[in-house]
């Protein structure tokens, strides 16, 4: 049995379920699965301009593993663009920050530090909140 993969820490899941090409000539093809940790790797390296070492620490994996995840992410995106395939975001081997919630009433997103006990929205005080992990 192969060794289990260490979970890659992801701060926030991608804000999309997928991307679809339009105006393409050929019919539907099989989609590309972009894992949460691959999205996070692209975000940290190419959007937040972090070095691979900094990013790997944030995600809780070694620099080499980060580089592999990042490489795989870039290849998948390139494949989707060139072969006009859909991209779908898939959970993968990610562990999300547990402490983030979204208010169902006012859509504010917030964390609850562990020194607080109330499970309420800090803006509208509603208790209709859900963990971002369940999405």
Partner 1 sequence: MMKTIISSMGDNLDSGFDLRFGRAGWFCLLDEETGETSFYENDSAEASHGAGTRAVEKLMELGATKVISGDFGPKAKELLEKFKIQMVVLSDDSRSIADIIDSIK
Task: Write out the residues near partner 1 by the rule CB under 8 A.
Answer: 11, 44, 48, 50, 54, 58, 99, 106-116, 122-124
- The least distance separating partner 1 from the CB of residue 22, rounded to whole angstroms, comes to 25
Cα 121 to Cα 127: distance, rounded to the nearest angstrom: 6
Q: State in angstroms the smallest separation of the CB of 89 from partner 1.
A: 19
CB of 12 vs partner 1, minimal distance in Å: 9
Rg of the chain, C-alpha, whole Å: 18
11 versus 64: smaller Cβ distance to partner 1: 11
Q: Pick the closer one to partner 1 by CB: 104 or 106.
A: 106
* Cβ–Cβ < 8 Å for 99, 112: yes
**Pick 55 or 80: Cβ nearer partner 1:** 55
What are the start-end ranges of the E strands in 1-135? 8-10, 18-19, 32-35, 87-90, 94-96, 100-103, 109-111, 129-131
């Amino acid at each position: 049995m192969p060794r289990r993969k260490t979970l890659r820490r992801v701060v926030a899941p991608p804000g999309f379920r997928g991307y679809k090409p339009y105006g393409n000539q050929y019919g539907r093809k099989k989609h590309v699965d972009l894992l949460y940790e691959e999205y996070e790797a692209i975000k940290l390296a190419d959007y937040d301009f972090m070095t691979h070492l900094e990013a790997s620490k944030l995600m809780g994996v070694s620099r080499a593993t980060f580089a592999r995840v990042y490489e795989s992410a870039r290849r998948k995106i390139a494949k989707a663009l060139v072969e006009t395939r859909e991209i779908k975001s898939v959970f993968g081997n990610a562990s999300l920050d547990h402490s983030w919630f979204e208010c169902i009433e006012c859509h504010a997103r917030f964390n609850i530090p562990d020194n607080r006990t109330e499970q309420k929205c800090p803006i509208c005080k509603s208790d209709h909140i859900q963990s971002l992990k369940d999405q």
